[in-house]
Amino acid sequence: MSKKTLLSKEEILHLAKLAKLQLTDEEIVKYQSQLGETIEYIKNLDELDITDIPATNSVGNLENVTYEDGAQSLNSLTEKEALQNAKKVKNGEFAVTRIME
Amino acid sequence: MLLGKTITQLRSLIEKKEITSKEVKEYFLKRIKKFNPALNAFLTLNDVEDKSIGDRMLGIPLAVKDNFCTKNLRTTASSKVLDNFIPPYESTVTQKLKNAGAYIIGKTNMDAWAHGSSTETSDYGPTKNPWDITRSPGGSSGGTAAAVSAYLAPGGIGSETAGSIRQPASWSGIVGLKPTYGRVSRFGVIAMGSSLDCPGPLTLTIEDAAYLLSLIAGKDIQDATSSPLPIEDYVTQMKKKKTYTIGISDDYFEGLDTDVAKALQNSIDIFKKLGFKTKKVKLLSPNYAISVYTIIQRAEVMSNLARYDGIRYGNERTMFGTEAKRRVMLGTYTLSYGYYDAFYKKAQKVRTLIIEDFKRVFKDVDFIIGTPTPITALKLGEFSKYPFFGELMDKFNEPGAMAGIPAISVPVGLDRNNLPIGMQLMANYFHESDILNASYQFEKETNFFDVIKKGVARYRD
Amino acid sequence: MKTYQPVIGLEIHVELKTQTGMFCQCKVNQFDAKPNTHVCPVCLGLPGALPVPNKQAIEWTIKIGQALNCAINKHTKFDRKHYSYPDLPKGYQISQYDEPVAVGGHVSFEANYGTYKNEKRSFRIHRVHLEEDTGKLTHSGEDTLIDFNRSGTPLVEIVTEPDFTTSDDVKMFLEELHTIIRYLDVSDADMEKGTMRMEPNISVREILNPKSQNPNKPQITNFKLPSYKVEVKNINSFNFVKKAIDYEVKRHIEQLEQGKTPLQETRGWDSYKNITYSQRSKEEAHDYRYFPEPDIPPFEFSAEYIESIRKTLPELPQPKMFRFINKLKLKPIDAFTLTRGKEMSEYYEKAMSKINSLKSDINVKSEKLGQEIANFIINKKISIKLPIEDFVKRAVEMIQPIETDIKLLDEIVQKVISANQKSVSDYKSGKQNAIMFLVGQVMREMRGKADANTVISKLKEMLK
């Protein structure tokens, strides 16, 4: 049985905050061990020698893909379409509860 | 009698005026009404009258996975977060199908956000395997697979990140093709793994898969990762007389259920009978691909789910399910300050090793043979026991997924429980023609051991 | 008594004036448009939308890098920068992290050249990169409203090294940078409109050995940076920049004198109260979780390509100024003023070129001629909105008075005065402008053979 990593409650809460997720107390405990288990497994990558190996940041050998400025939009939305799925709209704008600066 | 008629056959019938598009559409709508309540393959039926512009698909219905944005037709990715989302635009794949005259009969169930291999993480209940409704049809394209398997549509579209087309095709006993990454546009596909997602067809025959691929493949200026390579005439290429060399890698034979192992060996014998050669090859252990996949996919998932803040569309993030939350959390962890080099960067480097590994092996062989999964369909509820279970189940799919190479799953028999067994062929980049060719020969020789025929027959009109 | 020195670095954002978006084809810079009328799935961050980069935006970023003497990276890519805010539709901004377009440049100039305030300066540029702008927030009662028209507009970020030690330096630098950007014609760079934004990062350090500070040496950071820095937002004019920095520096010194380290935080500038205020009660460390953007393949530029863009750079303000001084023999302060605007300096050269082709008819020494024309433009004696021919005509007139037939002038003036009694009485009753009508009449009668100033003097004399 490999060494078990257990994330601390603080770590879980910090991650949840960054990810804008709300967790129940149950979930916090569950994730502590489940994430730990996964982290243990993925450490198997340390078995490989990757010195001088470049990272694959893009699959497919494509490069310099761009579009010409001023090209016609194929998907421009009307104001109605843009707003059609919003929960709260005010004066043609998306609305949220006022943000305190 | 329309039961079991393939897309190719239906096209012929309609062209010969032996049946009309309307009759075909109504036929399937009737079947969906009858069988979908038990199977839960479809989430949303399309009652918007689509005017077929194209003359190729002739109004023939297709089932489309609910992660493809269909304009004015509800799209949920099987998550309550998008419960009432009505896309104001069309995905490239569905637009191409519409332009070709296909009728998108409905949106199918999936694992929520495509996170899973069983369609059980759907917020709308699992889809049942038409072969045994106490079992999963596989995932995440389980809804489309079940729909085609039970002949609620003659074909359909799914998407694969790492196994999500191959595995449900295998468990549901149909054909599932995962094209090369970049062969088919991702524009309008609700993103799961941006460097992994591949839309692809699920069908009853190889010819149908080749045909649908020819309709949806091609460069899309709206997807910067789509390939500019010209598409081939897949149907014509498929019928040419060719022999190939099949690579045998021990890793893909490890841990297989006895019946699955037998069926795989049998498939190799069939290929030999067809004149194919075999050759032993050595590949990097799939266990590394599992780690690479876990890290990269979860990082991309965390990122791709960041836009769901409930402001411009959708419901609040509190409606994310457990699996989504778990993946987001891990993705956040591996990208967070101080961990990037140890996890993400390392994974991308190992990814390069995996890619080079396949390139090396494909110099000597045309395909690598295996099975999409070591087992047949699991009972519903088995998956949720392990957080990592899905990944381990998908280990035969993850290496190819990380590399972005194409693959197919075809039925090769039934196991002792009368459940379908799938065999997969993986090929080099953009060698879909070869995959389809070899599979077509196999189909002609075996008729997939009547698996598909038997499956459809379970759902008589 | 302790001596303190400010340590200031700048982050400047320049909105490019492309026609369409950084990653989509929505029209951008539509400042008067109704909210959410120039949006699409991409810039609205809809599920399934994908970004495709704007070629012009990339080339203009390279151009800016080159104009700032940076090295252009042959290999560059985009990265995702994650944070959560309602104006950020994807929950991440597509930006650049470790492989930006340009690095390691400098802006060197002589400010107020030719005056007793002539200051030679050089400030280092850390990097120049390309990203996308966010939507716009406005507050309305209990709500915050979001307009996504601006979302996805190409935005160039320029980061300097912390080389600035005074607010005057910062102001001069910004004015020079502003002029350079406008010369490139890639942005309106208007601080009030928000097409150029800047945020200073300010700290203050104690100088241990004041004697070693040499004000004439190029500013190089060869000391240990203070352990904190304060970012100030919401500054939207060059004047406010100076005020905000001065205020902050004073505030930091006050704290340091008490033995306290100023809190590392983000503050906002209040232009009504002329103070900065804390924007976050607790500074949240930003964990942007950068990773390479998988939806956009990377960029590989050949040396030829980079050079081809460099060739499109216009002559920049400082070299042009020195050329005006050395070749065109202009007074330094006038060369400086003329070259503050590309249109103005180009107009000047066009005018000079036209005049030189008529030179044989003009009676003025060539050096003085250039200076005279410069004066007309700088002092707005003749409008540069005129077509070049008209400008030149007017200029020639003003330099070389037209031979006026005095006798004929007398006659015509008398004639015009008697024929236009109303204008005469208007003028006499205080309407100064009425004389211009009379001038026009006289000029017409004289059929151009009169110098305007002479006509005016004559009329005034006659109407006394």
Q: Give tens-digit pLDDT for B249-292.
A: 999 999 999 999 999 999 999 999 999 999 999 999 999 999 99
Q: Do C118 and C54 sit in the same domain of this protein?
A: yes
In contact, B183 and B432? CB cutoff 8 Å: yes
Residue A79 pLDDT:
96
- Averaged pLDDT, C202-227: 67
Q: Which of C276, C291, C309 is the last residue of a domain?
A: C309
In the beta sheet, which residues pair with residue C205?
C5
Please list, residue by residue across C382-418, b when 16 or more beta carbons sit within 10 angstroms of its beta carbon and e when fewer do. bebeeeeeebbebbbebbeebebeeeebeebbeebbe
CA distance B292 to B295: 5
Please list, residue by residue across B165-193, b when 16 or more beta carbons sit within 10 angstroms of its beta carbon and e when fewer do. bbbbbbbbbbbbbbbbbbbbbbbbbbbbb
- The model's pTM is 0.90
pLDDT at position C365 over 60: no
Is B140 part of the annotated catalytic residue set? yes
Residues of chain C positioned with their CB less than 8 A from the CB of A78: 37
Residues of chain B positioned with their CB less than 8 A from the CB of C49: 187-188
The residue with tokens 């060869």 is C222
Check if B184 contacts C (Cβ < 8 Å). no
Decide if B291 and A41 are in contact by the 8 Å CB cutoff: yes
Nearest by CB: B303 against C49, C53, C82:
C82
Q: State the CATH number of the domain containing residue C435.
A: 1.10.10.410
Residue B415 falls inside a structural domain:
yes
Percent of chain C with pLDDT over 90: 58
Interface pTM, i.e. ipTM:
0.96
- C371: confidence class by pLDDT, cuts 50, 70, 90: confident
CA distance B249 to A48: 20
Q: Residues C240-250: pLDDT tens digits?
A: 999 999 999 99
What amino acid is encoded at C434 in this protein? Answer: A
- A49: confidence class by pLDDT, cuts 50, 70, 90: very high
Residue C219 pLDDT:
47
CA distance C127 to C48: 32
Q: Do C368 and C414 sit in the same domain of this protein?
A: no
Is B122 part of the annotated catalytic residue set? no
Q: Select which of B79, B117, B118, B164 is catalytic.
A: B164
Residue B414 falls inside a structural domain:
yes
Q: Which of C250, C277, C309 is the last residue of a domain?
A: C309
Mean pLDDT for all residues in chain B: 95
Query: B447 is in which domain, residue-wise?
Result: 7-457
Which residues of chain B fall short of a pLDDT of 70? 48-54, 384-390
Distance from CA of A70 to the nearest CA of B (A): 14
Q: Do C268 and C325 sit in the same domain of this protein?
A: no
Q: Do C433 and C351 sit in the same domain of this protein?
A: no
The residue with tokens 């995702």 is C80
Q: Do C218 and C342 sit in the same domain of this protein?
A: no
Q: Do C374 and C236 sit in the same domain of this protein?
A: no
Residue C173: which of C222, C110, C218, C128 has the closest Cα? C110
Residue C356 pLDDT:
80
Q: Alpha carbon of B235 to those of B437, B441, C284: distances in Å?
A: 9, 13, 58
Q: Do C249 and C323 sit in the same domain of this protein?
A: no
pLDDT greater at residue C442 or residue C33:
C33
Return the SS3 of C190.
Answer: coil
Q: Select which of B5, B65, B96, B128 is catalytic.
A: B65
Residue A2 pLDDT:
47
Distance from CA of A100 to the nearest CA of C (A): 9
Distance from CA of B41 to the nearest CA of A (A): 25
Q: Select which of B79, B117, B122, B140 is catalytic.
A: B140
Nearest by CB: C80 against B67, B77, B303:
B303
Q: Do C395 and C413 sit in the same domain of this protein?
A: no
Q: Which of C399, C414, C436 is the last residue of a domain?
A: C399
CA distance C200 to C235: 9
pLDDT greater at residue B87 or residue C218:
B87
pLDDT greater at residue B415 or residue C224:
B415
Residue B412: which of B438, B361, B448 has the closest Cα? B448
Query: C434 is in which domain, residue-wise?
Result: 406-462
* Domains of chain A with bracketed CATH: 1-48 (1.10.20.60)
Residue C223 pLDDT:
59
Is B444 part of the annotated catalytic residue set? no
Residues of chain C positioned with their CB less than 8 A from the CB of B85: 47
Chains A and B form CB pairs within 8 A to the count of 137
- Averaged pLDDT, C62-87: 97
Decide if B312 and A86 are in contact by the 8 Å CB cutoff: yes
Q: Do C256 and C173 sit in the same domain of this protein?
A: yes
Residues of chain B positioned with their CB less than 8 A from the CB of A4: none
In contact, C392 and C362? CB cutoff 8 Å: no
E strand map for C38-184: 71-72, 75-76, 79-82, 92-95, 102-111, 119-132, 136-140, 143-147, 154-160
CA distance B366 to B427: 6
Mean pLDDT for all residues in chain C: 89
Which value, to the nearest 10 degrees, does the dihedral of the CA atoms of residues B66, B68, B70, B74 take? 30
Residue B393 falls inside a structural domain:
yes
The residue with tokens 């090929």 is B427
CA distance C225 to C204: 9
- A54: confidence class by pLDDT, cuts 50, 70, 90: very high
Q: Do C163 and C209 sit in the same domain of this protein?
A: yes
pLDDT at position C283 over 50: no
pLDDT at position C282 over 60: no
In C, minimum Cα distance to A75 occurs at C40
CA distance B347 to B291: 7
Q: Do C198 and C241 sit in the same domain of this protein?
A: yes
pLDDT at position C362 over 60: no
Decide if C25 and A67 are in contact by the 8 Å CB cutoff: yes
In contact, B156 and B147? CB cutoff 8 Å: yes
Q: How many domains does chain B have?
A: 1
Q: State the CATH number of the domain containing residue B340.
A: 3.90.1300.10
Q: Residues C284-336: pLDDT tens digits?
A: 567 999 999 999 999 999 999 999 999 999 999 999 999 999 988 888 889 99
Q: Which helix (H) or strand (E) holds B38?
A: helix B21-39
DSSP B328-350: HHHHHHHHSTTTTIIIIIHHHHH
Residue B50 pLDDT:
62
pLDDT at position A62 over 60: yes
Q: How many domains does chain C have?
A: 3
Residue C397 pLDDT:
77
pLDDT greater at residue C58 or residue B52:
C58
- C367: confidence class by pLDDT, cuts 50, 70, 90: low
Residue B390: which of B183, B192, B139 has the closest Cα? B139
Q: Do C188 and C227 sit in the same domain of this protein?
A: yes
Any residues with CB less than 8 A from the CB of C128 and at least 6 apart, and which?
C61, C64, C65, C68, C70, C100, C101, C102, C103, C105, C156, C157, C158, C159
In B, minimum Cα distance to A49 occurs at B350
- A1: confidence class by pLDDT, cuts 50, 70, 90: very low
- C353: confidence class by pLDDT, cuts 50, 70, 90: confident
CA distance B83 to B260: 38
pLDDT greater at residue C313 or residue C371:
C313
